[in-house]
Amino acid sequence: MSETVLQHPNLRLRQAATWLRHPVLWLSIALFLFCMIWLFQGLSGNYEFILKLRMKKLAALLTVGSAVAVSTILFQTVSANRILTPSIMGFDALYVMMQTLLVAALGTTGFAMIGAAPKFIVETGAMTVMALLLFGTLLRKGARDITRMILTGVILGTLFRAGSGLIGRVLDPNAFATVQSVSFANFSRAHTDVLGIGATITVLGCVIAMWLAPRFDVLGLGRDRAIALGLPHGRIVVAALGLVAVLVSVSTALVGPVAFFGLIVAGLAHAIAQRRPGGAHHRILLPVAALVAMCVLVGGQTFFERVMGQQATLSVVVEFLGGLFFLFLLLKGKIR
């Protein structure tokens, strides 16, 4: 009897300790701290104006972070490997091309008339249809052949970029300027005109992804096993690819194409989540990845803007490190 009394607080403490070790919890705390530093560091002068500006940027970074993270994890689950990301497969290049095509078809004035949000919805819709057609067929046939997938991705990416370039050449200079501003990654000057709709879509996408998470777990077992367990395989693949296409559209519209950021995020998320039992489940993996991505973006942007004083840009460093990580994965031969 006395023993149980003695053990009780100890047990409580240990339970609390396990909770604290839950990656979602400590990553949330870290993200909260980063956000606070971002918002309130060196605040002086016109508080209201600066805070408003910083909040807008923060919202853009958080949206981009979660969109990139969730889309990358979902794409890796569908394609059954850890080295491919939507960007490597040319998803964002496809988005840029759809955007260029629309500018070419409607003209800058027509474009300006329909407003940022409807324009974004049209682009995203076109992008989703294209992505489902292209990658749906690709993944249904031979997702197991990773070499072929990487090659296809490289070729598709080049094709889409060349396509945008070709259309860009025949555009008038004004229209071309509109297109060019979205063709390079830039975290410092996010296109906040689509922030409202982008953030809404991202939140919706993340909620749907979390709702479908147990099905994505089964999808991760591979086609045959998923079907044997009664999963409507084709429909779940389409759902996952649709989510990926929409989320990539959001992040590309906001900050432009980021090639290797998703790869770093997914790699870190797997490493962190794996240390817990059940860490391979999407209910844990997706929030961990989103939190990691948001921490890297907010923390990194704070560092480069406030400490380095814009002497370097986050996108370049992230791409450099991500590229190295991609090479490391390739050379280690652990492409699964």
Residues that bind another protein (CB under 8 A): 76-77, 80-82, 213-215, 217-218, 220-222, 224-225, 227-232, 270, 274, 277-278, 280-281, 336
C-alpha neighbours within 13 Å on the C-beta side of residue 55: 7
User: In terms of CB distance, is 54 or 270 closer to another protein?
Assistant: 270
User: In terms of CB distance, is 132 or 213 closer to another protein?
Assistant: 213
User: In terms of CB distance, is 3 or 224 closer to another protein?
Assistant: 224
As measured in angstroms, the least distance from the Cβ of 142 to another protein is: 13
As measured in angstroms, the least distance from the Cβ of 319 to another protein is: 26
CA distance 78 to 69: 14
User: In terms of CB distance, is 76 or 99 closer to another protein?
Assistant: 76
User: In terms of CB distance, is 175 or 226 closer to another protein?
Assistant: 226
As measured in angstroms, the least distance from the Cβ of 76 to another protein is: 8
H helix count then E strand count, the chain? 14, 0
As measured in angstroms, the least distance from the Cβ of 323 to another protein is: 23
What is the distance between the terminal CA atoms of the chain, rounded to a whole angstrom? 52
Burial track 105-138 (b if 16+ CB lie within 10 A, e otherwise): ebebeebeeeebeebbbbbbebbbebbbebbbeb
As measured in angstroms, the least distance from the Cβ of 247 to another protein is: 20
Name residue 107's amino acid.
G
As measured in angstroms, the least distance from the Cβ of 53 to another protein is: 42
CA distance 172 to 154: 29
User: In terms of CB distance, is 180 or 274 closer to another protein?
Assistant: 274
- CB 257, CB 185: distance < 8 Å: yes
Alpha helix positions (H), 80-222: 91-114, 116-142, 146-170, 173-180, 195-211, 213-219
- CB 194, CB 120: distance < 8 Å: yes
As measured in angstroms, the least distance from the Cβ of 239 to another protein is: 15
DSSP 143: T
CA distance 49 to 51: 6
C-alpha neighbours within 13 Å on the C-beta side of residue 232: 6
CA distance 268 to 126: 32
User: In terms of CB distance, is 84 or 195 closer to another protein?
Assistant: 84
Kindly compute the dihedral angle of the four CA atoms of residues 161, 191, 198, 52, in this order, to the nearest 10 degrees.
160
- CB 204, CB 121: distance < 8 Å: no
Question: Mapping DSSP to helix (H, G, I), strand (E, B) and coil, where does residue 41 land?
Answer: coil
As measured in angstroms, the least distance from the Cβ of 252 to another protein is: 26
User: In terms of CB distance, is 212 or 253 closer to another protein?
Assistant: 212
User: In terms of CB distance, is 259 or 284 closer to another protein?
Assistant: 284
As measured in angstroms, the least distance from the Cβ of 227 to another protein is: 5
